[in-house]
């Protein structure tokens, strides 16, 4: 090993820049002696193309309702998922089957981050023989029924309370939770800490700039309502529909690139990544380009990311 290190050091000492490598041009100092003529109001504008919001497109509740009527026949999410027991059971079964095919959940110590109702935790122990732990910041009423041998539930904020010892888990599963995490960088760091070397994490999460990030697509049919309208307008819409007043769902505003930077900075290896996208609604984009044009078009298509992360051995 010592000889190998010595050889690498000798190679580094012999390294020279390539002859055809670009070099910046050599310059000579420039003497500045003059000054421009004095201008009384150097910041005064004469003319230009300043942003003007079309008067017909005032971003109020009336426009919100009009857009919703326009999209009622072709909603962004034609069949929103249901939350009855049988549907939740079927969804948990299908999700775990897909995740197991990627990271092998059988007989592992598995942490379900943001476990919600806990169905995945129950199936991990019952069907996969795993020792499953679910964690969430809210205790769900279903936990008492689903708790049992190799099925544990913990109410805690992973980022701030650190309820688990380092290296406690072989696997981490997190399904559409990270967008609601207010300290995503600290949470990722804690997941890295509690994973064992060689452990794998499956994470999928909604991205803020995507068409569906408002989470209100059961009643709101058009894309990007959270980017186009303030929460005061969204709440007014719900109030006028006779429904409980709600704004857009709270979603942290990290882009995929920012998530990726945090992930790699911690030392994770990305073994698989996938961006789930929805094509841009060009007519709506052009109509509200003065708002949506502030964001990169690629971000406006990205609804979810999926990653498999590995903690190096």
**Alpha carbons within 13 A on the beta-carbon side of 239:** 9
Task: Find how far residue 268's CA is from the centre of its chain.
Answer: 17
Output the CA angle 217-223-225, nearest 5 degrees. Answer: 80
- The pLDDT of residue 47 is 76
* pLDDT one-digit tens code per residue, 243-257: 999 999 999 999 999
- The pLDDT of residue 11 is 59
- The pLDDT of residue 19 is 63
- The pLDDT of residue 15 is 52
Burial 231-270 (b: 16+ CB within 10 A, else e): eebbbbbbeeeeeeebbbeebbebbbeebbebbeebebee
Percent of the chain with pLDDT over 90: 83
Query: The whole model's pTM is what?
Result: 0.84
Q: Other C-beta atoms within 10 Å of 105: how many?
A: 25
Hey, what long-range contacts does 59-64 have (CB within 8 A, 24 or more apart)? 59/228, 59/229, 59/230, 59/233, 59/291, 60/233, 61/233, 61/236, 61/237, 61/240, 64/225, 64/229, 64/233, 64/234, 64/236, 64/237
Instruction: For residue 31, give both structure tokens.
Output: 């003497």
**Alpha carbons within 13 A on the beta-carbon side of 131:** 5
Hey, what long-range contacts does 186-190 have (CB within 8 A, 24 or more apart)? 186/159, 186/160, 187/113, 187/158, 187/159, 188/262, 188/263, 188/266, 188/268, 189/266, 190/158, 190/159, 190/162
- The pLDDT of residue 55 is 47
Q: Write out residues in the chain with pLDDT < 50, as ranges.
A: 55-56
Nearest to 243 by CA among 224, 226, 219: 219
* pLDDT one-digit tens code per residue, 145-188: 999 999 999 999 999 999 999 999 999 999 999 999 999 999 99
- The pLDDT of residue 104 is 98
């Amino acid at each position: 090993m010592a000889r190998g290190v010595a050889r690498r050091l000798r190679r580094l000492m012999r390294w020279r820049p390539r002859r055809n490598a670009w070099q910046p041009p050599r310059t000579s100092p420039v003497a500045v002696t003059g000054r421009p003529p004095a201008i009384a109001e150097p910041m005064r504008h004469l003319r230009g193309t300043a942003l003007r919001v079309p008067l017909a497109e005032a971003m109020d509740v009336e426009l919100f309702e009009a857009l919703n009527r326009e999209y009622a026949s072709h909603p962004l999410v034609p069949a929103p998922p249901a939350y009855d027991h049988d549907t939740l059971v079927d969804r948990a079964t299908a999700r775990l089957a897909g995740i197991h095919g990627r990271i092998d959940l059988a007989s592992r110590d598995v942490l379900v981050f943001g476990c919600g109702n806990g169905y995945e935790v129950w199936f991990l122990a019952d069907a996969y023989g795993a020792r499953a732990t679910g964690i969430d910041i809210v205790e769900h009423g279903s936990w008492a029924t689903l708790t049992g041998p190799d099925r544990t539930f913990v109410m805690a904020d992973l980022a701030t309370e650190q309820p688990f010892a380092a290296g406690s888990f072989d696997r981490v599963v997190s399904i559409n939770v990270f967008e609601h995490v207010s300290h995503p960088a600290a949470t990722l760091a804690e997941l890295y800490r509690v994973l064992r070397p060689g452990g794998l994490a499956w994470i999928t999460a909604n991205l803020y700039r995507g068409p569906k990030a408002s989470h209100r697509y059961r009643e709101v049919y058009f894309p990007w309502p959270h980017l186009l309208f303030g929460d005061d307008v969204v709440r007014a819409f719900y109030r006028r529909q006779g429904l409980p007043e709600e704004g857009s769902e709270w979603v942290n505003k990290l882009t995929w690139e920012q998530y990726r930077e945090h992930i790699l900075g911690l030392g994770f290896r990305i073994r698989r990544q996938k961006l789930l996208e929805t094509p841009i609604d060009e007519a709506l984009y052009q109509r509200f380009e003065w708002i949506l044009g502030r964001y990169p078009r690629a971000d406006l298509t990205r609804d979810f990311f999926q990653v498999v992360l590995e903690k190096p051995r």
